[in-house]
Structures are given as structure tokens and as C-alpha cells.
Chains A and B, each alone.
Chain A
Amino acid sequence: MSTFLGWNGLRWLNALTAIMVLLVMVDAFIGHYRSGFAVRAQYTPFLSGGAILIAAVLAGIAPHEGWALQLLLVTGAGGVLTGIVGAGYHHYYGITSKPGGYGWLLHHLMHHAPPLAPFALSAVGALAVLVATGLRGSGAVLGVPLRTAALCVVAVTLAGAALQATLLHYRGAFNNPLMYAPLTTPVLSAAAVPWLILTRGRWALLSVTVLFEATFLIGFVGLGMHLRGFDRMMGGLRVALPNVLDGPAMTAPALFSGFAAAGLTALYLL
């Protein structure tokens, strides 16, 4: 297994997992705080995410300790499950229980609990499971080679994130042309990954690499643009709290960078 700056692919993935679970929790906190934690289940992502964060840090410090890896595996699986259950909650509270129900589907999708957001925790949890499995010496998860499994997680997540971002950018009427960015390289990356997995060709590898690199950069552009988005709200950054609560999702664009980095790690270090 190749290394980069002294760490192998799994340790890098572990570090990315720790960073991304933090990002996911920040956005979840903003969204759940905004709705006043009206439902007790809204605390769950912080319990689950916090556990993943602790486990990832421990696994980072002690990558060869069986108990640490066991913890990462369990918390990762917990994250996957929490995300799925969370999506159910978002569906129920965001659509089913709202006035008009499915008759107002598009309205509810745009204005209430973001339907796909909880799956971000599932994706990070899946990465944790993958890292734990790898560090324990296994070369495959559920019979799928680690590299392929990681690429699949990355591709599905990028596609989902692009879908969720497009929905919210549609709500914002694509008021800035850069709001089309999630529809560009993230979607193409997600589409190119199966091509790579199925053909293992040089061109496919090159394309996926370039697309991941571009996606990595786009995430940072997104972060900057979302900051600018807060500033374009009433009062701008001088009234930061309400504008952060009501404006674009603060850390969401970083997930594109994070998962693109995870994809590059999988390509070259696994």
C-alpha cells in the first residue's frame, strides 16, 4: 500500500472521516438549532457523529489497537444507521406531517428538512466502517475490495450531495451562475466512477482523477461563495447569526472537497 506524507491510504481516509463528521455536525447543528430542537431525535446526529469523531481520533492515535478499530467499526455502522433513520425523520417531519403533505412535495423539499442531508452521516459512517475494516487487515468489505468500496461510497455521496445542493440552489433561483457548480464535476465524477470500476482503463483513471481534483477545488469555491451568500442576506455578515441560520448551508460545500479527497485517496493510496 502506498503512502503519502508517511500515512497510508486508510489513515488518510480516517483523518478525512474525522474532519467530515465534524463538518456534517456543524450543518446539522445549524439546521436543528434553527428548528429549535423541537423533536428530541434531532440530538441524535451529535451523539452518533460525536462517537464517530472520538473513535476516528482514537483510531488515528492508535491505528493498531483492536479495541479502537472495533469502536470505529461500531460507531461507523451506527452512523450509517443514524443517517438512514434520520432521512426517515426528515421525510416525516419535512413532508408527511406538513400542511398539504405530498400535494406540496416540491415546496416541502425546498423549504423544510433537507431530504438527503442525513445521508451525509451515513456516508461518513460508511467511510469509518471501511477504514476500520481495512486497518484490521481485511482487504474487502462485504466481499467488495476496499478501493472499489471506497470509490462507490464517494460516487454515491457526490451524486446525492449534488442532488441536494441543486434542490436548494433551485430554491435560491440560481441567483449566481456559480450555483450550477454542483451539477458539473461532482455529477460527472459520480458518473465516471462506474466507468473506471468496470473498465479499469487508463483514460477512465485519468478522467476520474481530474474530475475529483476539480471537485476538490469546487468545494472550496463553494465555501467562499456560501460565505458571500451570508453577506448578501439582509444586514450581511454584521448580523451573522440569523444569516447563517437562514442562509446557505455553511459547511455543505466542503463535503464535495472532502469526498473528492477521499476519492483521490482511494485511487492512489488504496
Chain B
Amino acid sequence: MGDRMTRVADARERTLTAPGIDGERVPMRDRSREEVDFCIVGAGAGGGTLGAKLAEAGFSVVIIDAGPHWDPTRDFVSDEAASHPLFWTDERISAGEHPIELGSNNSGRGVGGSTVHYSMIAMRAHPDDFRRRTILGEIAGAELRDWPLGYADLEPFYEEVEHDLQVAGPTFYPWGRRRKRYPQREHDLNACAKVLVEGCTKLGIPVAPAPIATLSAPHRGRSPCVYRGFCNYGCTTNAKSSVLVTYVPRAIRAGAEVRPGCMAARIEHDSRGLATGVLYFRADGAELHRQRARNVVVAGYAVETPRLLLGSASAMFPDGMANSSGCVGRCFMVHTGDQVFAKFPERINQYKAPPPGGAITEHFNRTIPGEAFVCGYTIEVVGPHVVDFASRMATSRGLWGASLRREMLDYNYWSGLGIVGEVLPRRDNRVELHHDERDRHGLPIPRVVFGYHGNDQAIVRHAVRQMTSILEAAGGRESWHADRTAHLLGGCRMGHDPHDSVVDADCRSHDVPNLWICDGSVFPTSAAVNPSLTIQAIASRTAARIRELAARRELSPHHGHAAPAARIHPAPRGTA
């Protein structure tokens, strides 16, 4: 790494503490000097969930995250503008035919990741979502693949995560495979959700209560939601089942160290091509630190995960780690998140209550007969806060100055709907490293290239028509449309074929057997549902598989196995 000093992290034994969820400090083990079983990069939906499960299984775990370890009782403010530190706003270059917006809508920074500010919609993907290639065949311009695992493989883990998060959902959910009842009951509807229910009922479109990972009843010292509506800016009441208040405290209790303020720079490997640890920068320091590990898990989400892999290129892995297939960074996807707003004669107060409002329709989440496109979308309720809403008014309707101010006086009378629309994977949509732009650590910044497939745009056109008619059926007027994307997926897809995918169904790299990827980047196709629950179910499954592999001594090839008992090994010092 050039002329920078590389050193092993602080050699003194320290007792660490971490923020608890009720304002207290909780003790935490210092594992900076150990060669841990797992070093996980990223403490979000994938990394946080996996870390907790692995630590509870007895493995020694360090989770590093670039952002802070939030204290939910102090760090979250009910203020849109002051909440920007929750988003990953490091410089990135967005390019391509349809460059996407990066930031608040699709990334998180800090322990808990984007689950700290996500909208909590906890949906399962459907059986067909895992078999897109088989069902749809070859589609020109798209690179459809079946997932190497199916709904049946994930079902028990969906159930487990729903239980861990205490998802509040309807007694009978009309779409998808028959399922067990949600652990908690659905929330009441806010006014925007009532608009959706009323409009859908008038048009004969089935609509149901939305499953939301927010408590509707007390659970183990956490209180139910009080419907403040600042969910997207960090929940101050802990009703929101973010990874920060669910899995992270479990991980710490089970002996994991969660180390905030650590920006991963590269993954190290030895002469056999096995990962040996992670080099990272402390918040604003210029020195590199090393965390030695028998296994490395990358859980940085669909931009940062490919970035770290590509940035870890070496003489042995000239195209980046785990990239012999050339798939790292490729087939990057988003969800279309277009929104339609309409004005109502009565007050709506769209900011109140969790933004998903409490109602949802998956009626169009299927290939609709007679339409010229495949796949579909889910219609959800949205409730942007004032600044967010004003910026949409400005960008989508071109309002500014006096006209924007006049329109914003009616902020409380607008109600909106949004979609999660399926986007087909295209090989040209990619994350790559910029050839000369560097970030403050001197790491190459990622360049995100994106363009829609024609099918994606046909879905959006259909969705905008439907959302407009639903809003109008409910009595809305003056509707307008804001185009938007949400969620980042793909870039390190899972698959059976090592020449055509980055990881296998266990999220284990085909090339580097002790390197794992555990986040939304492993999705081969996007599925028109909010991805967090699927990411967490995959993380839970990966943890279960790792336990099985460890029990069979098939986990860590260079150490025989990484079972919890066998912790003392000579520390490998492989550097790239």
C-alpha cells in the first residue's frame, strides 16, 4: 500500500463499550489483536444479522463499519436536514443512460446500515422470483438467471427473521405462498394508507395490511410504535426493528466486537489465494490497520461490496478478488421507485406514522396478461417529509420560488403512492472503479453505470397509470409523477456456475473459499418486493450453513476448520 505505514491495531488489552439501545453503555470484547473466525465488513442488514448468528454459534466475530455506532436515544434527531450522516454520501460517480441517485434512498452509513432509516417493509420474495430464467426464458438485453436457492430453502429463515424482528403484519396475507401468522398484528392505517385502501376497493384491486418490521405491541423492553413518522431519519423510540436495535446487541452480547469508524481498504490474501484479513482506515486517520481473520465476509451492499473486491486486486487476482468470472460489479440493479401524488380536500398529514402507512397491494406483482412487459411491481404508500417533498415538487414539476412556496402550503393535503418495480439485470449496468478519482483515503471511488431495460420502463408506465387511477378513485386531484429509484441489488450474483457467478448459494466465493459476500449484491434478479427481509433471510441461512460446514470441518481450508474451540493458530501475515 505505497508508503503508508501498516500496523497491527493497538496492542494493549482494552475493555470496550458500545452504545446500548436505552442510552446505556454495554461492555464489548476487544478482538483487535486476535485472528478472529470472521471479520465482517459492514454492519447492516446482511453483516449485522450474519454477525449476530455467527457470534451466537460460538465463532469469534468482528464487524467493522465505516460509520458511527449510533446511540438511538441520543444520535437521532427529528429533523430531515440534520439526518444526512445516516446516509452513505461519500463521493461516487453515477453514469450511464439513466444515472441513478445515490444516497438517502438506497444506502446507509453506520452500525445498522440502511435499516436505521429504511421504511421497514418486511416482504418475502415469491417462489417465482427465484426462477426468473426458467419461467421467462431468454430476454433480449437482459441477463436473467435463476437463483441457486429457492423459496423453500429460504422459507424457514424468512420465518426466523420475521420472528427476530417481530414483524407486524396481517393475519391473512393474500399474496404469495401460504404462511404462518406474523409474530405481531398489523398497525392501524394512516391517512395515506386509507387513500390506497379506498381507491383500490373502488377499483376492485385487492389490498391488504402491510407487513412492517416495527412493533405494534411491547416486546422485551421495547415499546410499540407511537407513529411519530420520523422512521426514515432514525427511530428514537426503538419501536423500529432495525439491525441496530435487534441483531447488533445480540452480536455484542454473544461476544462479537462491533468496530465503528473503520473504512475497509482491501482484503488481504496469502500465497495460496486465501483471505487472511482486512486492512482498514480509522475514521480520519491515514494509517492502515489490520484485522486478521480466518474468514472475511463482505457486506457493504451493491456499490461498496464490488468496490472492495475490485480494489483488492493483486498479482494473483488482477481483476479483483473473487472475480475470475468477471461478474463482480456486473448486473447491478435497482428497483424503480416511481411515485405519484394527488391532492385531497381533507388533511392527510402524509408524514404521520411509518411511511408504509399500513397498506400494500401486490396485485400487479406478476406478469400481467395482455401487457407488453414481463414481471411487475408492488404498490406501497409513501409519506415524504417536507424538505423531501419540496425537492420532489421542484425536480418533478419544475416549481421554484413563489410557485413552489404556494404549492407547499398545501403539503398536508397531498397523499402519495410509490412502487417497488422489478428491474431486469443487464450486463452493462455495473459498478467499477474510477480510473483516477480517489476518495479522502486515497481509494479509487466507484463509478456506477446504469440504464433501464425497455421492460423496466414499460412497468413504470403501467404503474403510474394504475397509481393515478387509484388516487383519483379515492378522490385525489392534480396528480403528478416523480421518477425515482430505490434499493441497490446485484453486482456479485450468486449461482451454481463459477464462470457465471461470484458466490454460491451459501454466499461463499467460488474463487476464494474463505471469502463470503452477504448483502443485496448477491441477488441474481431483483424481485418486486423490498429486499431487506430477503437479505436478512439469506444472512441467516448463510450462518446456518457456516455452522454445518464447520461441523463437517469444511469451513476454513487453510486451518482445517474454524470451529470455536480451535482458536489459537499461528497468525498468517499475508499481504497483497
Nearest CB of B to A93, in Å: 14
Given contacts A106-B171, A175-B218, A100 and B207 within 8 Å (CB-CB): yes
Question: Is B14 an interface residue, CB under 8 A from the partner?
Answer: no
Q: Is the CB of B194 within 8 A of A234?
A: no
With a cutoff of 8 Å between Cβ atoms, the chain B residues found around residue A103 in the complex are: 201
The chain B residue with its CB closest to the CB of A242 is: B226
Q: Is the CB of B185 within 8 A of A234?
A: no
Q: Is the CB of B184 within 8 A of A107?
A: no
With a cutoff of 8 Å between Cβ atoms, the chain A residues found around residue B216 in the complex are: 171-173
The chain B residue with its CB closest to the CB of A174 is: B217
Taken together as a complex, chains A and B put the C-alpha atoms of A107 and B188 apart, in Å, by 8
Question: Is B219 an interface residue, CB under 8 A from the partner?
Answer: yes
Q: How many residues of B contact A (CB 8 A)?
A: 27
Given contacts A99-B198, A104-B197, A111-B188, A234 and B170 within 8 Å (CB-CB): no
Given contacts A99-B197, A234-B223, A234-B226, A172 and B239 within 8 Å (CB-CB): no
With a cutoff of 8 Å between Cβ atoms, the chain B residues found around residue A175 in the complex are: 184, 217-219
B-facing mask of A227-270, CB < 8 A → 1, else 0? 00100111100000010001000000000000000000000000
With a cutoff of 8 Å between Cβ atoms, the chain B residues found around residue A101 in the complex are: 201
Nearest CB of A to B35, in Å: 42
Taken together as a complex, chains A and B put the C-alpha atoms of A111 and B171 apart, in Å, by 13
Taken together as a complex, chains A and B put the C-alpha atoms of A234 and B227 apart, in Å, by 11
Question: Is A22 an interface residue, CB under 8 A from the partner?
Answer: no
Question: Is A110 an interface residue, CB under 8 A from the partner?
Answer: yes
B173-232 at interface with A (beta carbon < 8 Å): 183-186, 188-189, 194-195, 197-198, 201, 207, 209, 216-219, 223-224, 226
With a cutoff of 8 Å between Cβ atoms, the chain A residues found around residue B224 in the complex are: 233-234
The chain B residue with its CB closest to the CB of A111 is: B188
Question: Is A203 an interface residue, CB under 8 A from the partner?
Answer: no
The chain A residue with its CB closest to the CB of B224 is: A233
Contact residues of A: prevailing secondary structure: helix
A-facing mask of B228-256, CB < 8 A → 1, else 0? 00000000010100000000000000000
Given contacts A99-B197, A99-B198, A101-B201, A173 and B183 within 8 Å (CB-CB): yes
B-facing mask of A151-192, CB < 8 A → 1, else 0? 000000000000000000011110100000000000000000
With a cutoff of 8 Å between Cβ atoms, the chain A residues found around residue B170 in the complex are: 107
Q: Is the CB of B186 within 8 A of A234?
A: no
Nearest CB of B to A107, in Å: 6
Q: How large is the interface on A (under 10, 10 to 19, 20 to 34, 35 or more residues)?
A: 20 to 34
A-facing mask of B379-412, CB < 8 A → 1, else 0? 0000000000000000000000000000000000
With a cutoff of 8 Å between Cβ atoms, the chain B residues found around residue A171 in the complex are: 185, 216-217
Nearest CB of B to A112, in Å: 8
Nearest CB of B to A100, in Å: 5
With a cutoff of 8 Å between Cβ atoms, the chain B residues found around residue A100 in the complex are: 197-198, 201, 207
Q: Is the CB of A99 within 8 A of B189?
A: yes
Nearest CB of B to A179, in Å: 9
The chain A residue with its CB closest to the CB of B197 is: A99
Q: Is the CB of A173 within 8 A of B226?
A: no
With a cutoff of 8 Å between Cβ atoms, the chain A residues found around residue B217 in the complex are: 171-173, 175
The chain A residue with its CB closest to the CB of B220 is: A175
Given contacts A99-B197, A99-B201, A175-B218, A234 and B188 within 8 Å (CB-CB): no
Taken together as a complex, chains A and B put the C-alpha atoms of A170 and B171 apart, in Å, by 10
A89-113 at interface with B (beta carbon < 8 Å): 99-101, 103-104, 106-107, 110-111
With a cutoff of 8 Å between Cβ atoms, the chain A residues found around residue B171 in the complex are: 106
Q: Is the CB of A233 within 8 A of B218?
A: yes
The chain B residue with its CB closest to the CB of A106 is: B171
Nearest CB of B to A269, in Å: 41
Taken together as a complex, chains A and B put the C-alpha atoms of A223 and B183 apart, in Å, by 25
Nearest CB of A to B218, in Å: 4
With a cutoff of 8 Å between Cβ atoms, the chain A residues found around residue B168 in the complex are: 173
Nearest CB of B to A17, in Å: 34
The chain A residue with its CB closest to the CB of B221 is: A232
Given contacts A99-B198, A100-B197, A100-B201, A234 and B239 within 8 Å (CB-CB): yes
Q: Is the CB of B201 within 8 A of A170?
A: no
A110-142 at interface with B (beta carbon < 8 Å): 110-111
Q: Is the CB of A107 within 8 A of B223?
A: no
With a cutoff of 8 Å between Cβ atoms, the chain B residues found around residue A233 in the complex are: 218, 223-224, 226
B85-103 at interface with A (beta carbon < 8 Å): none
The chain B residue with its CB closest to the CB of A107 is: B209
The chain A residue with its CB closest to the CB of B193 is: A99
With a cutoff of 8 Å between Cβ atoms, the chain A residues found around residue B219 in the complex are: 175
The chain A residue with its CB closest to the CB of B227 is: A246
Taken together as a complex, chains A and B put the C-alpha atoms of A111 and B170 apart, in Å, by 12
Nearest CB of A to B167, in Å: 11
The chain B residue with its CB closest to the CB of A112 is: B188
Given contacts A103-B201, A232-B218, A234-B239, A170 and B194 within 8 Å (CB-CB): no
Q: Is the CB of A234 within 8 A of B201?
A: no
Given pairs A99-B197, A104-B197, A235-B223, 8 additional interface contacts (CB within 8 A) = A100-B201, A107-B209, A111-B189, A172-B216, A173-B166, A173-B185, A234-B224, A246-B226
Query: Can you give 8 contacting A-B residue pairs, CB < 8 Å?
Result: A99-B197, A101-B201, A104-B197, A170-B185, A173-B185, A175-B184, A175-B219, A242-B226
